Structure 1
Amino acid sequence: MRHPRAYYAAVAAAVIVTLVPGVPATADQRSPVSSPTVSGPIPGAVPGDRLASAVEDTYPFFSTPDDLAARGYVEREFYLSGVADGWDQQGVRVATDVPYRTRIVVRRPARGHGFNGTALVEWQNVTAGYDLDALWNGEAMMRAGYAWIGVSAQRVGVDQLRGWSPARYGSLDVTGGGRYLADELSYDIFAQAAKTLGARGSRAPMGGLDVRTVLAIGASQSAARMTVYYQSILPQVEPVFDGYAFIVGSAPTRVGTEPVFQVLSETDVRTPVRPSPDTGQFRRWEVAGGAHSGWHGQQYRTPISVRDLGAAPVYDCAQPPFSRVPVNHATAAAYDHLVRWVRKGVAPPTAPPLVFHADGTKARDSLGLALGGIRYSQVSVPTARNTGDNAGQSFCFLFGSHQPFDEATLDGLYPTRAGYLARVVRADLSNVHAGYLLPADARGNLREALASGVGG
């Protein structure tokens, strides 16, 4: 696993170099994005959900345990092969037509009537040393009818796949036979994966579904890679994405034609200086109390890690880890806004920034909760101190913290159960009306409040 300081150094380097974009080209000068060869779906699925005629006792790495069938969804994996151009982080083309072979994972409605027309194409995160579908949010995505496509674009993830199942993944290579080890091919591979979504036929990745909108999404390190792509490479190549969501990571400063949405947790906002103001093509949301890698994602990935890696990581952090503030609620709302932005030109709402003191430290209330930002009911009607801060071994500094209030504090804050529940409802209705929270997620917050026993 990459050391966190080394990881942040790499991300910082990516952000710095993207401040100088590549040479822009006119529309007719932009290089076309190649259409790769797609084969699959690859036989094999997790036990109990095998595809017919499976010929190998394998399944997609980190296959979701979510009950897709109950929501009318399927998960399919495909090989992508072709030739890709290589780019450095300054937007300079360093190679052309380099052979590659990788995989994509597709989770989509089985039939057209359940599809909302939008494909979310995620650049799989490899910070932990393997492909991570960091932005898969099954509850919200399937509820809305999105398709999700995970792309294995980077060497670290592909190398791990090859070792995890040589039978399934041994032929994969995104380095041009070891000639390009700094992920120079990754940008073109990511774009080519998006271009496959227009293919027709029952064995195509989208199974014949009519894709109207294609959004690029990436979290953390993947957001940094997408920043390089948007800032320095996209001006020179054919656009294949309609919009971009940069989650808990950097975002480009270049003003392009495709809208950009950045969602940050409290962890990610470390200075009162914001690189880019909101514009007609850019939105930045900051979520008070949220963590770069919080409770929702950890709960989802723990059983998968046990199944596919043999164990889930255990962390010894300075404070109890994993903020419970649902940053995933902000991303779910952001995707919906981004679709309307692309299709109808309706810009998303702006959001207040987190508040900082004059000395550059975050402002907090008497309970230790950050001031400003998007404030979900977990922060504005708190039952615990959720922050974006932590320290300790490995990735603890990304987890935030969660410290439940004692009974005396809760009794002082919420003398009656009815009063507590009413405050939760008011807070979430305010966020729904502001556009920061989807109604279904507000109902989920209320269910959690009802089950908490607070004020009882």
Structure 2
Amino acid sequence: MTRPRRVAALAAGLVTSMVAALLVSAPVHASATGDREPIARAAVHGPIPGTVPGDPRAERLADTYPFFSTPDDLAAKGYVEEEFYLSGRADGWDTAGNQVATDVAYETRLIVRRPAEPRRFSGVALVEWQNVTAGYDLDALWNTESITRSGDAWIGVSAQRVGVDQLRGWSPTRYGRLDVTGGGRYVTDELSYDIFAQAGKAIADPRGVSPLGRLRARTVLAIGASQSASRMTVYYDRVLPQVQPVFEGYSFVVGSAPSRVGDEPVFQVLSETDVRTPVRPADTDRFRRWEVAGAAHSGYNGQVYRAPMQERDLGAAPVYTCARPPFSRVPMHHVTAAAYAHLVRWVERGTPPPTAPPLVFNPDGTKARDARGLARGGIRLSQVAVPTALNTGDNAGESFCVLFGTYQPFDEATLDDLYPTRAGYVAHVVATDVRNIVAGYLQPADAAENLREALRSGPA
């Protein structure tokens, strides 16, 4: 059938009109930090020459560039990518919150993606604890579209031994002097908590070289995914009560979240993969938890983004043989983008994020599903509420398959039964997205992308 232009025009108007509903605000008051230990100040050196493969400014580092340098065209979006060395002396902590080391020398790196011009900067710095589960630093929460659209700065911190050791082997010229183990004395990441906090302090209160150049951050947030969320949980629960705060809010994505109630707000965002029990912590004025139906711990969008970097820097992108077709296409990153915006308002204005319905469980403890196998409850993006495929958070098989979820497109007969007309399908997508915008789970620009995708590849 012909493109439903009237539906698209109506959708665009409705999407835009919902923005104002998300901007209610109230003042927030900071609490005292008492006699907690101050965070030491680290030295920042850089930017390191060699910003992209073949950069002529690289001089003696001409054969190197930042590991997993983004393949996206940041310049077209008014952004730059730069890398810095961060060095200082860190204290060490075990996972129980016992201090096990003091004043240990370290050196690591920061990778920074930020607006090139101050006028484009939102004032928000997202400081990510780089994930090392795969054996190397992974910018799991970088999303080019939403972060550049918001004008935020993103800073990846290499805090753990596994990632730093891989960097040293990948480019001894660029990274050979890095060490986060105190010369091999602290190999279970005891220094990582203080290193991460010192990185945050270098961004929030720069002296000398600033990782953000001419930009000045107004709000500095800590974010981490999966294993990194677990490390941040230890930091928040066990270490932060003993040291002065650096970050003003925390986002724990597809991983654990703190059990302690602290001054700094905590936002946990989970995929369907990560929700394994109906027993959940309650939302409070300092804690919010969202669960996204159909989304995977590591879904399609991340795999597509990372493949060019894996091929360039590791020689090949991994291939997996899973029990079911992998990589849910539910865009979890749309929900995390909305969550970051709420977290900023929570920190700056005292406006807590909206609550969200949890995923539904059966009496036997299994996840409740509809007749087509889609999870019930949770935040239901249009890819689940108006489905053209089975997207779940579950899978099995080798290696990381359990984290990938599934994606199985419906056959033509099923699509014809669900959506007798293409215009009707698009209208349902629009209505769902508008509801999610009003609820606060989706940003208008991402709803517009959903609409373009529906027009491009929905049922015929």
- TM-score tier by shorter-chain length is over 0.9
1:311-350 mapped onto 2 (5 Å cutoff): 311-350=316-355
Q: Deviations over 1:297-338 (max 9, x none)?
A: 000001110000000000000000000001111100000000
2:33 aligned residue: 27
Q: How many residue pairs get matched?
A: 430
In the alignment, the residues of structure 2 paired with residue 272 and residue 236 of structure 1 have an alpha-carbon distance, to the nearest angstrom, of 32
Residue 143 of structure 1 pairs with residue 133 of structure 2: no
Q: Which residue of 1 aligns with 2:454?
A: 449
Aligned residue in 2 for 1:194: 200
Instruction: Tell me the equivalent position of 1:129.
Output: 135
What is the aligned counterpart of 1:368 among 373, 388, 391? 373
Q: Give 1:56 shift.
A: 2.8
Shift of 1:201: 8.1
Farther-moved stretch of structure 1 (124-133 vs 198-207):
198-207
Tell me how large the CA RMSD over aligned residues is: 1.4
Identity of aligned residues (%): 72
Match for residue 44 of structure 2? 38
1:295 aligns with 2:276: no
Contact between 1:267 and 1:400, CA under 8 Å: does it hold in 2? yes
The equivalent of 1:22 in structure 2 is none
Aligned letter for 1:373? Answer: G
Q: Secondary structure at the match of 1:28?
A: coil
Choose which of 179, 187, 201 in structure 2 pairs with 1:173: 179
Which of 287, 309, 313 is matched with 1:308 structurally? Answer: 313
Shift of 1:48: 5.5
2:97 pairs with 91, 94, 103, which one?
Answer: 91
Q: Which has the higher contact order (CA 8 A, sep 6+)?
A: 2
Instruction: Report how far residue 49 of structure 1 moved.
Output: 5.2
Counterpart amino acid of residue 409 in structure 2: P
- What is the alpha-carbon distance in structure 1 between the residues aligned to residue 58 and residue 258 of structure 2? 44
Q: Is the 2:51–2:83 contact (alpha carbons within 8 Å) kept by the matching residues of 1?
A: no
Q: Is the 8 A contact 1:364 1:370 kept in 2?
A: yes
Shift in Å at residue 216 of structure 1? 0.2
Q: Residue 84 of structure 2 aligns to which amino acid in structure 1? A: F
Normalised by the size of structure 2, how large is the TM-score?
Answer: 0.92
CA distance in 2, matches of 1:116, 1:53: 33
- Determine the structure 2 residue equivalent to 1:183: 189
SS at match of 1:227: helix
For 1:85 and 1:420, the matched residues in 2 are separated by: 57
CA offset at residue 210 of structure 1?
1.6
Residue 267 (structure 1) aligned to one of 268, 273, 286? 273
Q: Residue 384 of structure 2 aligns with which residue?
A: 379
Post-superposition offset of 1:204:
2.0
Tell me which of 408, 412, 420 is aligned to 1:407: 412
Residue 59 in structure 1 maps to residue 50 in structure 2:
no
What is the SS of the residue equivalent to 2:438? Answer: helix
Name the SS for the 1:159 alignment partner: helix
The answer as to 2:218 corresponding to 1:219 is: no
CA drift at 1:66: 1.0
Q: 1:241 aligns with which of 243, 247, 257?
A: 247
CA deviation map 1:239-288 (0-9, x unaligned): 000000000000001000000000000000011111x2000000000000
Q: Which amino acid aligns with 2:451?
A: L
Deviation at 1:152, TM superposition (A): 0.2
Any idea what SS the aligned residue of 1:29 has? coil
Cα 1:422–1:54, aligned 2, differ >3 Å: closer, same or farther?
A: farther
**Whole-Å separation in 2 of the counterparts to 1:230 and 1:95:** 18
Normalised by the length of structure 1, the TM-score is 0.92
Quote how far apart the aligned CAs of 1:111 are: 1.0
Output the CA distance in 1 between the equivalents of 2:166 and 2:57.
24
Listed as ranges, the matches of 1:77-88 within 5 Å are 77-88=83-94
Instruction: State the distance in 1 between where 2:189 and 2:272 align.
Output: 29
1:286 is paired with a residue whose SS is: strand
